[in-house]
Structure 1
Amino acid sequence: MNRLVPFALLVLLQLAAAVRIPAVTEAAVGRELLSEKDHTYKVDDPVPLWASKVGPFTNPSETYEYYSLPYCQPKDGVKHKLLGMGEVVDANRMASTPYQLQFRKNRNRELICEQLLDGDRLAKFRKAVKEDWYFQMYYDDLPVWGFIGKMEKLFKPGGVTEYKYYLFTHIDFDIKYNDDSVIEINVSTDPQEAVDISDGITDTVKARFTYSVKWTPTATMFEQRLQRYERFPLNPVHLEIHWFSIINSCVTVLLLTGFLATILMRVLKADFIKYNKDDPAMDEEESGWKYVHGDVFRFPPQKNLFCAFVGTGTQLFYLALFIFVLALVGVFYPYNRGALYTALIVLYALTACIAGFAASSYYKQMEGELWVRNILLTCFVYCGPFLIMFAFLNTVAIVYRSTAALPFGTIVIMCLIWSLVTIPLTVFGGIAGKNNRAEFFAPCRTNKYPREIPQLPWYRTTLPQMIMAGFLPFSAIYVELYYIFASVWGHKVYIIWSILAIVYVILIIVTAFITIALTYFQLAVEDHQWWWRSFLCGGSTGIFVYGYCFYYYYARSDMSGFMQTSFFFGYMLMVCYGFFLMLGTVGWRASLMFVRHIYRAIKCE
């Protein structure tokens, strides 16, 4: 049995990283269309153009298969390219197209087909033009976009507004090459050949779908061909303004943090001097954080759930670190289809042992006895809510017949990875943590009965403290959030991973410090129940980020519709929940180190 587990782990990692998963299992795949591996071609070699998806430009999650619109299909039938798991999760569905784009072969006004658009066909195209649909294709792994049509607003006498809808039927492909490699591809449409499909014009429309191909030599090297997407016209990234905004935000936050740190250091220094004096009169006062030393290391209530949260938060912390390492070494280059999703799935499975070890180790140190329940809770504390949310959103996508709905085969593979890799690694990590000989270090003995907490003003209660704790870290990442949202929930490209890594480090530092400061103020008023408070205060930034989601959706984006709304707020809820667990763990670990330090530095009798 012990030999089968590593073997199963190896097999499933190969499935996740290398095995090609069919986007549409019932489609036959032509082997001759799967040859773009070395990206080198000879003159007149066929280079397939793959249609990925179509959908409303303002709703990035609401995507559909290309042939959900009645476009001309290849004469030999539609073939689907086999995709990796990350590509499928990214809602790509590669279907062959009738466009013949042989390497370095020009074409002028080639006819694809003629169609008589009537009834349902006409209604589909009209709906797509009304909602500003776009299409996305890939040519030699290079993405290309275009719009389905255009809408014009006409003002007639009497204040009457009339809308005209035009379907683009001709596409110009402008392709650049260098020696034997494709370097760049651009798509443009000819407005002179747009077909009027407005309401009430006619019941039938005759459309001739044509295309042209022009090849142009370029000096750009193959290794540099993706650099143009960093400043793609649909995805402008103003680097200078971006850098200035981030630096300004970080300097402001660091100055404020340094100011508060200086004050806290001086206050602590005065406390150490006062508490280490042998003054009987001072002992009679019995006020301040020294006098709760007998309760400050009393383990928190619901320590099973607490340790599961800490274990999962630790896993997510290391997961983020590994993702940044891969990003900084150039793994996630622009439009590397699904690479980020594949990395997240595989790394989450591999780091499950960290969650099990951290949760079980702390649970044992806190003298917990139900360690099996603790390990199971660690397995489901994040995956459980995420699976429920995924099931709901995937059902919505299935109802909409969107490519955002994962195929059954992909769901089976992900469930196998979770059940045969993630859960076993969590269990193994939990067993190792249970057998860990480390003991909980407490500088002070814990009293048998807890000390009564004095009546505190409302602003020292949990909720106001969480608001204060979340504001400062959120202000450190506020500027960067817009660029991240515009990339994940829009059509911009995010490439400056170095900035994001810097912001991440600052977020961790600021979260740790602000939680330490609030823990000190809490202990100073003799409130010794700091365990859960420090976790909640550290994780409160996730609540602020979710609040920003509402601002971004209603004020900074044009997203609409039930599917897009449910996807945005549903998946962002899971992301913010992960932020809550990760930053809550950071806040608690920092507070634990701080509390141990200050109570070790004074005499506690």
Structure 2
Amino acid sequence: MGWFALALLIVSSASLVRADSSDHRYKAGDLVPLYANKVGPFHNPSETYRYFDLPFCSPGAVKDKKEALGEVLNGDRLVTAPYKLDFLADKESETVCKKKLSKEEVAQFRSAVTKDYYFQMYYDDLPIWGFLGKVDKEGKADPSDYKYYLFNHLHFEVLYNKDRVIEINARTDPSALVDLTEDKEVNVDFMYTVKWKETNTPFDKRMEKYSQSSSLPHHLEIHWFSIINSCVTVLLLTGFLATILMRVLKNDFVKYAHDEETADDQEETGWKYIHGDVFRFPKYKSLLAAATGSGTQLFTLTIFIFILALVGVFYPYNRGALFTALVVIYALTSGIAGYTATSFYCQLEGTNWMVEEELACGYSFLKLHLEMGGLTVELFATAALPFGTIVVIFLIWTLVTSPLLVLGGIAGKNSKAEFRAPCRTTKYPREIPPLPWYRGTLPQMAMAGFLPFSAIYIELYYIYLQVFGGHRIYTIYSILFIVFIILLIVTAFITVALTYFQLAAEDHEWWWRSFLCGGSTGLFIYGYCLYYYYARSDMSGFMQTSFFFGYMACICYGFFLMLGTVGFHGALFFVRHIYRSIKCE
């Protein structure tokens, strides 16, 4: 099963690298495919609509391009554009159509121009952008005096190398304007011009232009400096706290060893005092096992995504590659969730492992439901999700995800792994002494989430800026991977430190506390979403608000499970280590 899954992953990854089934070679006069994708307000890139939702010229028989699953989930709806750009064929002021716009259509275009709508097309898989019109505000203080114009003439400049298209640019003719200021019928002649120019740029380097623009080179040095400064600060603080913790532990070991040699009947205090309760299994252990199983799957998914990103699979404007990878790898790694959850549940002496499978399956279905909810919100702003895509996703979940989850559970049950506790557990639990308010669960979660969040908030700003605040694709995966590793280290350490302080206060219920403290960074990330939405973004309206907060809720929920699992396993390793170092029989 493992080799089969790996083979599927390799095949799917290879398919992502392929730009198109075509070899992108053309002869003079050949029709090069030009597809119209979407339109939307420039300052709110998350709000997009289908190109022909606006009353543009239709090319007659409009044909949809068959997109892959990831492209559909990405919101792409490629439809044949009304412009014909034949290979090496120059055109001068070619008329697309003569159209009489009704009052309603004029108002529709005027609303789009007011919101700075742009369009996106793809020519031989190369993206093209342009604005629909402009607002003339010069010398007019009163908004009621503004003039609204629609661009009706597009100039295409195409660069080619022998028989291949290398680059395309589109610009609007500032002198070709249609006045949309008044609500009246308007006659529009939609026109375009095509100019072909030869270039020496090789075909395999035609995407470098987009990679460089998406990486923001003029900000890259500042970006690196900010990230390094933040990481060094956090690591120094972490190292300082680690040194203190190691010195305290060393003193504890010396103290307990001295007490054992001199006065065995002396009353014990601190974390050794609760050695008979610290390995008492927690309440709701089936739920904890399911959560850690799902967190392990998400951690594995994240590592695979980073591997694909670092080897260059997600190059700019490789449409749908990320979504395709997420769907495929998520389905193939579901067996990890089943195995981890059931194996851990059996170690905690759980007897009804099928209940555990149902919980793990429920977590998997909840994640899928949340992801589909986020995609549905996104696609409300773009286009309806095709019924066939819904069926494909449902079949992937029923025929791949769920069976692998069950098979992983069976393998976990048959692994017969045992929970080896260094200390025996007493029959009756000790009473936990009264603790001050700041040692409660919520204050501890706040402290646990702040330090990891401080290590990533600068990178969060750049990610939000490029994904939600601009029209560039995030490509600096090396920085992101470094920040991710720092996040894991800091999360594990801060959870271990808080677990020690909890045990030192003779509070032995650390199992759920460590998971919640580790995952609390996800809550801080969601809190940052509130700040970004209201202070940094230009998004507004029900659809954009629903999309942004719904989508980020899915992501933060995944971070909560993944980082909670990291924190819990770090705390479990630490607790086993310290109690193995003393005599606690």
Q: Flag whether TM exceeds 0.5 (same fold).
A: yes
Listed as ranges, the gaps of 5+ residues in structure 1 are 20-33
Shift of 1:218: 1.6
2:79 paired residue among 91, 95, 111? 95
| SS of structure 2 residue aligned to 1:192 | coil
Shift of 1:107: 1.3
In the alignment, is residue 312 of structure 1 matched against residue 297 of structure 2? no
> In the alignment, residue 330 of structure 1 is paired with which amino acid?
G
In the alignment, is residue 521 of structure 1 matched against residue 495 of structure 2? no
> In the alignment, residue 428 of structure 1 is paired with which amino acid?
L
1:52 paired residue among 17, 37, 44? 37
Distance 1:6 1:427 in 2: 18
Cα distance 1:160–1:604, how it changes in 2: closer, same or farther (>3 A)?
closer
Instruction: Look up the match of 1:427.
Output: 406
Distance 2:203 2:187 in 1: 42
Instruction: Look up the match of 1:369.
Output: 351
1:457 paired residue among 422, 436, 454? 436
C-alpha deviations, 1:163-190, integer Å up to 9, x for none? Answer: 2211111111111111221111111111
Matches within 5 A, 1:117-516: 117-153=101-137, 156=140, 162-198=145-181, 201-232=182-213, 238-277=219-258, 278-279=260-261, 284-384=266-366, 386-387=368-369, 390-391=372-373, 394=376, 402-489=381-468, 490-516=470-496
Distance 1:380 1:10 in 2: 27
Instruction: Look up the match of 1:83.
Output: 67
Runs of 4+ in structure 1 deviating by more than 6 angstroms, as ranges, are 5-19, 233-237
| SS of structure 2 residue aligned to 1:445 | coil
C-alpha deviations, 1:556-604, integer Å up to 9, x for none? Answer: 1111111111011001101100000000000000100000000000111
* Contact 2:64–2:78 (8 Å) recurs in 1: yes
Cα distance 1:417–1:70, how it changes in 2: closer, same or farther (>3 A)?
same
> In the alignment, residue 423 of structure 2 is paired with which amino acid?
C
In the alignment, is residue 557 of structure 1 matched against residue 546 of structure 2? no
Matches within 5 A, 1:105-120: 105-120=89-104
Instruction: Look up the match of 1:31.
Output: none
Distance 1:35 1:502 in 2: 32
* Contact 1:470–1:537 (8 Å) recurs in 2: yes
Distance 1:218 1:334 in 2: 22
* Contact 1:73–1:98 (8 Å) recurs in 2: yes
Shift of 1:154: 5.1
Distance 1:223 1:357 in 2: 43
> In the alignment, residue 145 of structure 2 is paired with which amino acid?
E
Count of residue correspondences:
581
**What TM-score do the two structures reach when normalised by structure 1?**
0.91
Listed as ranges, the gaps of 5+ residues in structure 2 are none
Distance 1:332 1:8 in 2: 21
**What TM-score do the two structures reach when normalised by structure 2?**
0.94
* Contact 1:237–1:493 (8 Å) recurs in 2: no
| SS of structure 1 residue aligned to 2:95 | strand
Instruction: Look up the match of 2:28.
Output: 43
Shift of 1:486: 2.5
* Contact 1:91–1:405 (8 Å) recurs in 2: no
> In the alignment, residue 591 of structure 1 is paired with which amino acid?
A
Instruction: Look up the match of 1:595.
Output: 575
Shift of 1:315: 0.3
Matches within 5 A, 1:57-68: 57-68=42-53
Shift of 1:441: 1.1
Percent identity, aligned pairs only, is 62
Cα distance 1:74–1:231, how it changes in 2: closer, same or farther (>3 A)?
same
Cα distance 1:404–1:574, how it changes in 2: closer, same or farther (>3 A)?
farther
Distance 2:540 2:9 in 1: 38
Shift of 1:530: 0.4
* Contact 1:98–1:112 (8 Å) recurs in 2: yes
C-alpha deviations, 1:259-287, integer Å up to 9, x for none? Answer: 11111111111111111122555853421
> In the alignment, residue 267 of structure 1 is paired with which amino acid?
V
Cα distance 1:218–1:78, how it changes in 2: closer, same or farther (>3 A)?
same
* Contact 1:349–1:421 (8 Å) recurs in 2: yes
Distance 1:58 1:15 in 2: 34
Cα distance 1:392–1:176, how it changes in 2: closer, same or farther (>3 A)?
closer
2:556 paired residue among 576, 589, 604? 576
> In the alignment, residue 136 of structure 1 is paired with which amino acid?
Q
* Contact 2:73–2:375 (8 Å) recurs in 1: no
| SS of structure 2 residue aligned to 1:582 | helix
C-alpha deviations, 1:509-551, integer Å up to 9, x for none? Answer: 1111110011001101101100000000000000000001111
